[in-house]
A and B are shown apart, each in its own frame.
Chain A
């Protein structure tokens, strides 16, 4: 090579592969957490799974807090809770997953359901029902990110996710009233 070829490639690279690196890192983190729990407990029962989900969710929480700090630095303050949730669905989701939430539903009493039909962290897993029982592993971190983001905006929440057909999934956010 082809110094010319390398130079040509250098010019072509637009750096759109940042997301690939995150996705690889995320998968490896999930794998690591489950392997370690299995190794230290000699098995993987429901309690172990809960611990793994909790560890991943906790990591996501810290990341969500960090991300939202930078995102909202220059933004005006939010009108109300719905305004915040719309921000999460549009701005936050776009910055983190490079797409917007496809559908937002609410009961106007603090519960929101965010539907992403092509969730970035599930597209590698399958299209449909294969590996469905593994999906929760790959959602825990993201649930944490949403909870962390909301926490920094001043909203306490419980965030869970469910998948019925990959790569579509629904995040449920329940705002905790003080």
Chain B
């Protein structure tokens, strides 16, 4: 569907490389700073959350999307608009719970992990955990408390990358942002 010239395509690729490389440098630095993977995972989640609470405004401004009617719509918007917009990939939305409050995002490709290999001593590192925090933070700003976690990760040898999102509750009042 793209009528992008070569230059635009290259520029887009370069920018996602910039993001991917920067993310890699961040994870490397965190692994240096913290004793164990658990702590790194926590930091990534916290940083993702801080990014998410700001990113949502950028997203709403760019996409002009109105309020979603239900969690299914939210899932669609996350997969088809947000992921496409920021990461250039559209995960599929599957594995809905019977109650309709839980679903999975299946990513065939995860731009964060291009050219990344986990070294042996980081078995419990959730490399892309920033994504979970970002999703959580963004949705909190639109009054949804959600739980987000990776259940499959190609970096850890799984076939696909799967993010599980669970709706906890609607947030009635504006909670102060910030996860300090």
Asked if A9 and B81 sit within 8 Å, CB to CB, the answer is: yes
**Is B26 an interface residue, CB under 8 A from the partner?**
yes
From B11-19, B119-127, B163-171, give the one contacting chain A: B11-19
A13 within 8 A of B: yes
Q: Mark B52-79, 1 if CB is under 8 A from A, else 0.
A: 0011001000110110110001001100
The A interface, classified by DSSP as helix, strand, loop or mixed, is helix
Known: A9-B63, A25-B22, A28-B50. A67 touches B68 (CB 8 A): no
Query: Is the CB of A178 closer than 8 A to any CB of chain B?
Result: no
CB-defined contacts of A26 to chain B, threshold 8 Å = 22
Cα–Cα distance between A18 and B66 once the two chains are bound (Å): 22
- Asked if A19 and B4 make an inter-chain contact with CB atoms under 8 angstroms apart, the answer reads no
Interface string of A152-173 (1 = CB under 8 A from B): 0000000000000000000000
Contact A95 B22 (CB under 8 A): no
- B88: chain A residues at CB < 8 Å are 15, 18
What residues of chain B lie closer than 8 Å to A15, measured between beta carbons?
12, 84-85, 88
Q: A15-B88, A66-B17, A98-B11 are in contact. Are A29 and B26 (CB under 8 A)?
A: yes
Chain A residues with a Cβ closer than 8 Å to the other chain, count: 39
Q: Is the CB of A59 within 8 A of B68?
A: no
Query: Smallest CB–CB gap between B144 and chain A, Å?
Result: 16
Q: Which residue of B lies closest to A9 (CB)?
A: B81
Chain B's nearest CB lies how many Å from the CB of A103?
A: 22
Q: Convert A7-33 into 0s and 1s, putting 1 for each residue whose CB lies closer than 8 angstroms to a CB of B.
A: 001110111111111101110110110
Excluding A1-B77, A18-B18, A21-B19, 5 further A-B contacts by CB distance (< 8 Å) are: A1-B69, A10-B80, A21-B87, A24-B55, A25-B51
Q: Which residues of B approach A to under 8 Å, CB–CB?
A: 1-2, 4, 8, 10-12, 14-19, 21-26, 28-29, 33, 43, 47, 50-51, 54-55, 58, 62-63, 65-66, 68-69, 73, 76-77, 80-81, 84-88, 90, 130
